[in-house]
């Protein structure tokens, strides 16, 4: 029942966040802000904060809890339980070796049909996770490069990146909900409910966009950690070679990747430049190679 332990840790983390907010928000409103001439006393409803947290964290937790099921439903994939081909032996054996080294439960290993060379890891905890690779990855990368990518994904699993990203997303969602609820209540008390409703919708959109920038930045930061993990397992040259092979495929195919993906734990084809880079879940490949070379 290790999955229950993972969910329990998620619950405890969110309880701690809510306790922290419930203690710090009153101090901020009643003590600190009045010292600077900002008086919000009576304007902040802690019950609204609780409801915002329930909506914000609830959606993030449900998404994480069923992330494996959603991944399998969204993709044309096949699980490897008993490897038959040489490629399946290499994939399954690499994940198994790393899992044993890290003393974590063997993740589910899947291969999904897609021409682009990619991979991802998801699941509610390090002992209840899955790792999937695309057929394009197997067709375009050498065996040692595929293993480096798998080590990268196992780095996400071991580092608890799915958990950390979920907590951050829940916190951002709760903040967005709370802002909207506060605006509606503020204008509702002044008999301007329609104005408050419209303004809250606009603020939700704007703040959600800003929150996604924070979440995307955090995701890019975690990618460097997963790359470093892969370098420790199989050496940095293998991961650098894998990234260069993927970059060559992207340039050759001129494939435009989406920067937003519900499964994006490794959208490894990130490109630099433009304001849209703020919403990219992965750093540019050249930046990742440079970071690996500095190791």
Q: What does the alpha-carbon distance between residue 104 and residue 106 come to, in Å, rounded to a whole number?
A: 6
Q: Which residues of 145-154 are buried (b: 16+ CB within 10 A; e: fewer)?
A: bbbbbbbbbb
First and final C-alpha spacing in the chain:
38
Active-site position among 88, 108, 143, 153: 153
Burial zone of 50 (CB within 10 Å; 0-12 exposed, 13-18 middle, 19+ buried): middle
Q: What is the token pair recorded at 184?
A: 């509606």
Q: What does the alpha-carbon distance between residue 268 and residue 226 come to, in Å, rounded to a whole number?
A: 11
Q: What does the alpha-carbon distance between residue 123 and residue 108 come to, in Å, rounded to a whole number?
A: 10
**Active-site residue 286, yes or no?**
no
β strands within the chain, DSSP E: 77-79, 108-112, 119-125, 128-134
Secondary structure (3-state) at 260: coil
Burial zone of 133 (CB within 10 Å; 0-12 exposed, 13-18 middle, 19+ buried): buried
Catalytic residue numbers read 153
């Amino acid at each position: 029942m290790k999955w229950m332990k993972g969910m329990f840790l998620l619950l405890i983390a969110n309880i701690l966040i809510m306790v922290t907010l419930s203690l710090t928000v009153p101090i901020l409103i009643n003590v600190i802000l009045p010292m600077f001439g900002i008086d919000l006393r009576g304007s902040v409803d802690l019950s609204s904060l609780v409801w915002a947290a329930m909506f914000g964290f609830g959606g993030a937790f449900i998404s994480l809890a069923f992330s494996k099921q959603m991944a399998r439903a969204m993709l044309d994939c096949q699980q490897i339980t008993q490897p038959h081909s040489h490629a399946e032996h290499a994939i399954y054996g690499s994940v198994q070796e790393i899992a044993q080294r890290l003393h974590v439960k063997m993740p589910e290993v899947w291969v999904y049909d897609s021409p682009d060379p990619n991979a991802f890891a998801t699941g509610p905890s390090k002992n209840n996770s899955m790792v999937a690779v695309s057929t394009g990855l197997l067709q375009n990368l050498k065996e040692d490069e595929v293993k480096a990518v798998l080590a990268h994904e196992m780095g996400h699993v071991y580092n608890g990146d799915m958990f950390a990203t979920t907590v951050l997303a829940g916190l951002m969602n709760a903040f967005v909900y709370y802002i909207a609820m506060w605006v509606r209540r503020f204008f509702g008390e002044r008999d301007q409910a329609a104005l408050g409703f419209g303004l809250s919708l606009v603020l939700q959109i704007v703040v959600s966009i800003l929150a996604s920038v924070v979440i995307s930045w955090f995701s890019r930061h975690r990618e460097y950690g997963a790359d470093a993990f892969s370098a420790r397992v199989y050496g940095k040259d293998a991961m650098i070679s894998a990234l260069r092979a993927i970059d060559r495929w992207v340039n050759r195919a001129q494939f435009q990747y989406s920067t937003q993906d519900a499964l994006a734990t490794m959208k490894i084809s990130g490109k630099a430049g433009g304001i849209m880079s703020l919403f990219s879940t992965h750093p540019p490949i050249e930046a990742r190679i440079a970071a690996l070379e500095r190791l």
